Amino acid sequence: MDFALNEEQQALQKLAREFTAKEITPVAAHWDERGEVPMELIKKMHETGLMNIQIPEKYGGGGLGYLESCLVGEELAYGCTGISTTPMAHSLAITPILLAGTEEQKQKMLKPICEEFGLAAFCLTEPGAGSDAGAVATTARLDGDHYVINGTKCFITNGSLARLYTVFASEDRTKGLKGLSAFLVPAGPGVKAGKEEKKLGQRASNTTEVVFDDVRIPRANLIGKSGEGFKIAMMTLDNARAACAAAATGLSRRALDEAVRYSNERVQFGQPISAQQAIQFILADMAMKVETSRLMYLQAAWMTDQKMKQTVQSAMAKCLCADTAMDVSTMAIQVFGGYGYMKDYPVEKLMRDAKLMQIYEGTNQIQRVVIGRGLTAAASRSKG
């Protein structure tokens, strides 16, 4: 077993780390305060080669794996998970095309996004369909050579910025999960961003309703087969959860670094607070959690690249890394004392940003459901 990154991975990690230090960290508080996506910065990220990493080169992408994409994600998130959520959600949205799209769909939809600049949005959640994806009420009706899409999605990252939407809609609501299909919907007539959410954290990301009002798309925009929507959504999340875990790890590492630095600077009782064993123990716990997180997301991403079944490992990585980010960012505030509670220091933002990690891409309760089902299904198989 080899724990070392290869030269190409190290170079990519260095590129992302330098980009973050120069372009993201210095402006993170500003964009958090404004609650806006810094689009010029996202474009720069694209031009620097830090987006679309896992898309094959023939469609204009980086031609690398999920592991490389996650390494970059950890670095960007170190600077600001609000900002890094934009490329992460974009990556989530293009995954159904990579997993189940036709050659023609990949050429037509991925190439322009990679060669020019464009964002995609993943549209699964609805007001009545959060954890229960089978309750999707958006409909897709076949009309000759077209589908007509109607419905409202909510909490969609990149909702008002995307040029391409991957949309999960029901062709037959009586069939529940088996009635769902996945579609490619370009921005255009009938596609409107609705309410923009004002959020607790990750405020430099864009979260909106997306309304589909009699949107006509060619039949060729169906991803996979009719009725495969739920399967495609779940496969997409299995792949993408490592990225969420990597982002959570970047946030946790930032919280640790800030806590170490502050504890060496802050003097109480005539010495830096880092001289107190109580503080050292907090830092030690934080460091163990950061290292564990990284191992978990690397394993899940590696399994994805090896085309191994990784449902349980992805759910474990997402759940553990998100819980860790919440935990470690709270510990960082404790190390800062009262100053940690103030907006003049970066750690209160880390805690606000971390909370979302436990909610999106499936709540951490749902991850535990996935893990539990995986364990009990494996146990019942071994009995047979």
Q: Which of residues 109-128 bind ligand FAD (CB under 6 A)?
A: 122-125
**DSSP annotation string for 288-349:** HHHHHHHHHHHHHHHHHHTT---HHHHHHHHHHHHHHHHHHHHHHHHHHGGGGGSTTSTHHH
Residue whose beta carbon is closest to ligand FAD: 130
For residues 88 and 76, give the distance between their C-alpha atoms in angstroms, rounded to a whole number.
10
| Cβ-based burial of 197 (10 A; exposed 0-12, middle 13-18, buried ≥19) | middle
Q: Which of residues 73-92 bind ligand FAD (CB under 6 A)?
A: 89
| Nearest CA among 8, 156, 21 for reference residue 76 | 21
Q: Of 162 and 332, which CB lies nearer to ligand FAD in the complex structure? A: 162
Q: Of 193 and 259, which CB lies nearer to ligand FAD in the complex structure? A: 193
Q: Is 267 helix (H, G, I), strand (E, B) or coil?
A: strand
Q: Is 270 helix (H, G, I), strand (E, B) or coil?
A: coil
For residues 315 and 376, give the distance between their C-alpha atoms in angstroms, rounded to a whole number.
15
Shortest gap between Cβ of 244 and ligand FAD (angstroms)? 10
Q: Of 54 and 274, which CB lies nearer to ligand FAD in the complex structure? A: 54
35 binds ligand FAD (CB under 6 A): no
Q: Of 252 and 367, which CB lies nearer to ligand FAD in the complex structure? A: 367
For residues 269 and 288, give the distance between their C-alpha atoms in angstroms, rounded to a whole number.
28
197 part of the active site: no
Between β-strands 191-196 and 146-157, what pairing exists: parallel, antiparallel or unpaired?
A: unpaired
369 binds ligand FAD (CB under 6 A): yes
Distances, alpha carbon 352 to alpha carbons 25, 112, 252, 326, 343, in Å: 16, 35, 12, 9, 11
Distances, alpha carbon 169 to alpha carbons 177, 185, 208, in Å: 10, 11, 18
Q: Of 326 and 356, which CB lies nearer to ligand FAD in the complex structure? A: 356
Which region among 47-55, 72-80, 342-350, 361-369 touches ligand FAD (by CB under 6 A)? 361-369
Q: Is 29 helix (H, G, I), strand (E, B) or coil?
A: helix
322 binds ligand FAD (CB under 6 A): no
Shortest gap between Cβ of 130 and ligand FAD (angstroms)? 2
Q: Of 89 and 247, which CB lies nearer to ligand FAD in the complex structure? A: 89
Q: Which of residues 186-225 bind ligand FAD (CB under 6 A)?
A: 199, 207
For residues 142 and 138, give the distance between their C-alpha atoms in angstroms, rounded to a whole number.
13
130 binds ligand FAD (CB under 6 A): yes
Shortest gap between Cβ of 154 and ligand FAD (angstroms)? 8
360 binds ligand FAD (CB under 6 A): yes
Shortest gap between Cβ of 266 and ligand FAD (angstroms)? 33
Q: Is 171 helix (H, G, I), strand (E, B) or coil?
A: coil
Interacting residue with ligand FAD among 6, 306, 334, 365 (CB under 6 A): 365
Contact characters 149-188, ligand FAD, x per CB under 6 A: ------xxx-------------------------------
| Number of Cβ within a 10 Å radius of residue 370 | 22
Between β-strands 139-143 and 191-196, what pairing exists: parallel, antiparallel or unpaired?
A: unpaired
Interacting residue with ligand FAD among 362, 367, 370, 371 (CB under 6 A): 362
Between β-strands 120-123 and 164-170, what pairing exists: parallel, antiparallel or unpaired?
A: parallel
Q: Of 279 and 356, which CB lies nearer to ligand FAD in the complex structure? A: 356
Question: Looking at the chain, how many residues does it have?
Answer: 384
Q: Which of residues 224-283 bind ligand FAD (CB under 6 A)?
A: none
Shortest gap between Cβ of 210 and ligand FAD (angstroms)? 9
Q: Given the rule CB under 6 A, which residues bind ligand FAD?
A: 89, 122-125, 130-131, 155-157, 199, 207, 356, 359-363, 365-366, 369
Catalytic (active-site) positions: 361
